[in-house]
Each structure stands twice: as C-alpha cells, then as structure tokens.
Amino acid sequence: MRSQLIKRYFLTGLLIWVPLVITAWVLSMIVDTLDQSLRLLPEAIHPKNLIGFSIPGVGALLTLAMILLTGLLATNFIGEKLVGWWNALLSRIPVVNSVYKAVKQVSDTLFAPNGNAFRKALLVQYPREGAWTIAFLTGAPGGDIRNHLHGDYVSVYVPTTPNPTSGFFLMLPRADVVELDMTVDEALKYIISMGVVAPPPRARVVTHN
C-alpha cells in the first residue's frame, strides 16, 4: 500500500514537473538563439560591458525590434524599392539565387498575412492502407506533374510527431482524403501531444428531408 502511494505521488509530481521543465528548456533555447543578435552590436555597448553582467533576453528583444523595424520600413514606398533592389541583386548571384528563391517562396507561403499554407486538416491513410494519420491540405499538384496524374489530386503535408516541422509531402487522390471538422491549431496540438490532447468533439448537424 505504501509503495503504491509513493508511486502515485511520484507520478503526480512527474506530471507537474515534466511540462514545466520542457517548456523552460524550449524557451531557453529560443532565447539563447535570439540573443545571438547581440553580436551585431559593438562590444562596448553589450550589457555585459555596460553593467558588468549579461541579461538573458536582451538579444531576443533586439531581434524582435529589428523584425518590426524591417517590416515597418518595407511597407513604405522607399522600403519596397529597397526590397525589390535587394531581391534583384540576390537573383543575379549563382547558387545563392536558387537557395534564396526556394526559401523565399516557402516563407512567403507560410508567413504571408493572407497566406493559407495549411488550409485544412485531413485524415489520410499513411504509411500503408489501414493506418490513418493527420495531414494538412497545402494545395494541388502543379507544373508538369499535372500531366502525369490522371484525376483529381491534392497536395498534402504529413507531419511527424512530436515535431510537426518535419514530415512528408504527398500527392493523393482527393477521394482518398477525409476532411476533418477541426481547426489547423487543434490538429497541430493533437499531433504534438502524440494523440493525448484530443480536440473537443463537435456535434454533427443532422438534416431531415
């Protein structure tokens, strides 16, 4: 009986600490990465040299400020001209041209205010028939691929769990995918939690003839 209580207390404490530790670890990595922007500043004005010790997060604030300032400048007439000139310059550099264009297309799709990279949550059979997983609708096959696919196909992204930033790109017949009645955010939470955090059930509307 005593061992069962100890086990229960231990598991309860584990359930409290594990999310906190992992959250702190992830935030620490993000802040440490963003703090690297301090290297852009002269050594003389680094917090460590000004006040004698480092302040975690100052670089993160600097990074956010740089992003906001860049966005502010790029939205006016002069900024648009400078961005256009910069894109034209990079497009003329071999190797850099292909890498930059590919990355820019992906970032424009993912981060554009009017973008819809992940349009709908889907249910697909993967990696074999009878095994189901969650995927996201990303569009329709284009280019020469259309000439080799007969019928109505859709492009889908199948994320891995618990890291949805990696996954697989598939082109499937539209008839083989099932649209889910859940938001993209709910689907992502479901994937990251490895199926533990299920989206709330929604009542289906039944129509009577």
| Terminal Cα distance for the chain, rounded | 60
Q: Which residues contact 184 (CB under 8 A, 6 or more apart)?
A: 118, 119, 120, 121, 136
Please say if the pLDDT value at position 142 is more than 90.
no
Q: What is the pLDDT of residue 34?
A: 76
CA angle (111 as vertex; 118, 199 as ends), nearest 5 = 40
Please, what is the average pLDDT of the chain? 81
Given a contact cutoff of 8 angstroms between Cβ atoms, the answer to whether 73 and 98 are in contact is no
Q: What is the pLDDT of residues 106-116, one digit of tens each?
A: 666 656 555 55
- Span 176-201, average pLDDT: 87
Sign of CA dihedral 49, 53, 54, 58: negative
Per-residue tokens: 191: 């994937």
> What pTM, to 2 d.p., does this model score?
0.54
- Span 24-47, average pLDDT: 77
Please say if the pLDDT value at position 153 is more than 90.
yes
Q: Which amino acid is at 12?
A: T
Outline where 47-153 has alpha helix (H): 47-51, 58-74, 77-90, 96-111
Dist CA 82 CA 88 (whole Å): 10
